[in-house]
């Protein structure tokens, strides 16, 4: 199977142009917002538009739920799709989707900036923000059994008729529930709380000295977490750190849908468990 990606910032018109891009590159299947689409049919998956908030929508779009991921993987294996168009907000997101669905490495990367003008992208963005309208590249009748969002109307009313591709399959516009809730942000304090809860469950950690979270301007590059710890004497330091790094990454990414690039752990000191202290004192002979 050949894989081509189509990427660009959220709300710039990717889904609106998805069918045209697929047609131009000979793709007979599309992965978009959690759905596997072949022609005018939804083969498998659940649309991210059905989610009640933006965080869950992102998790749905990158197939973080095992059942959802397995369903789409199986459908791909049993389909007749020979060339698949994978849509994402960045090349990294598209590659992540390919890895989760066990797809081949993309052979070509298409970007929205290459096929749409700044004015067109701004118009699409304004429609997304002001009216909460999202496009799904399948006919309305196909969407009804899959999508609980409000179906609005056909996209030509917003963008004008595209005579060049008038024979291509129909698209639909929906207004997902999360469009009404505005912007959702996760502060560094929330990330720190997640880290703190994960660490406190480890019996080899005495206490946390400090937690710092650093996020770059480009959020796609992932955050860095700095963690200072005091461990109990006798702990297998490298094993404890390795386990904490793995668990923190899974929990933070799973709960916030934000990538974690690095987790830097510093062991500041070792301490003796209170029980051991009492045993040590009891074992020391007293001078008469």
Please, what is the average pLDDT of the chain? 82
Determine the pLDDT at residue 221.
Answer: 74
Give the integer Cα–Cα distance in Å for 191 and 251.
Answer: 10
Is residue 155 in some structural domain?
A: no
The 8-class DSSP code of residue 285 comes to P
Same domain, 125 and 30: yes
**Is pLDDT at 184 greater than 60 in this prediction?**
yes
Q: Which domain holds residue 200?
A: 186-269
For position 239, which CATH number holds?
Answer: 3.30.70.1350
Same domain, 29 and 119: yes
For 205-232, write each residue's pLDDT tens digit.
Answer: 999 999 999 998 766 678 999 999 999 9
Determine the pLDDT at residue 267.
Answer: 96
Task: Give the mean pLDDT of 177-188.
Answer: 66
Give the integer Cα–Cα distance in Å for 110 and 85.
Answer: 10
Sign of the Cα torsion 9, 166, 171, 27 reads: negative
How many domains does the chain fold into? Answer: 2
Give the integer Cα–Cα distance in Å for 7 and 9.
Answer: 7
Same domain, 117 and 39: yes
Same domain, 107 and 23: yes
């Amino acid at each position: 199977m050949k894989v081509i990606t189509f990427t660009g910032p959220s709300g710039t018109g990717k889904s609106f142009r998805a069918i045209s891009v697929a047609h131009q590159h000979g793709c007979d299947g599309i992965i978009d917002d959690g759905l596997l689409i072949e022609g005018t049919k939804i083969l498998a998956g659940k649309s991210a538009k059905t989610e009640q908030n933006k965080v869950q929508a992102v998790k749905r779009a990158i197939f973080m739920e095992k059942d959802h991921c397995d369903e789409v993987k199986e459908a791909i294996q049993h389909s007749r799709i020979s060339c698949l168009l994978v849509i994402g907000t960045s090349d990294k997101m598209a590659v992540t989707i390919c890895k989760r669905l066990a797809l081949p490495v993309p052979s070509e990367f298409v970007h929205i900036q290459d096929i749409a003008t700044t004015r067109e992208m701004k118009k699409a963005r304004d429609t997304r923000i002001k009216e909460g309208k999202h496009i799904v590249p399948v006919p309305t009748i196909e969407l009804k059994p899959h999508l609980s969002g409000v179906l609005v109307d056909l996209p030509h009313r917003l963008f004008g008729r595209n005579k060049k591709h008038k024979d291509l399959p129909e698209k639909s516009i929906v207004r997902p529930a999360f469009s009404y809730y505005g912007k959702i942000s996760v502060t560094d304090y929330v990330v720190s709380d997640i880290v703190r809860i994960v660490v406190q469950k480890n019996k080899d950690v005495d206490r946390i000295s400090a937690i710092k979270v650093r996020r770059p301007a480009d959020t796609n590059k992932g955050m860095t977490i700095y963690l200072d710890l005091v461990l109990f004497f006798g702990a297998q330091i490298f094993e404890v750190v390795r386990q904490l790094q793995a668990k923190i990454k899974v929990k933070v990414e799973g709960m916030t849908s934000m990538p974690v690039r690095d987790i830097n752990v510093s062991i500041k000191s070792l301490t003796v468990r209170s029980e051991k202290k009492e045993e040590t004192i009891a074992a020391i002979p007293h001078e008469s």
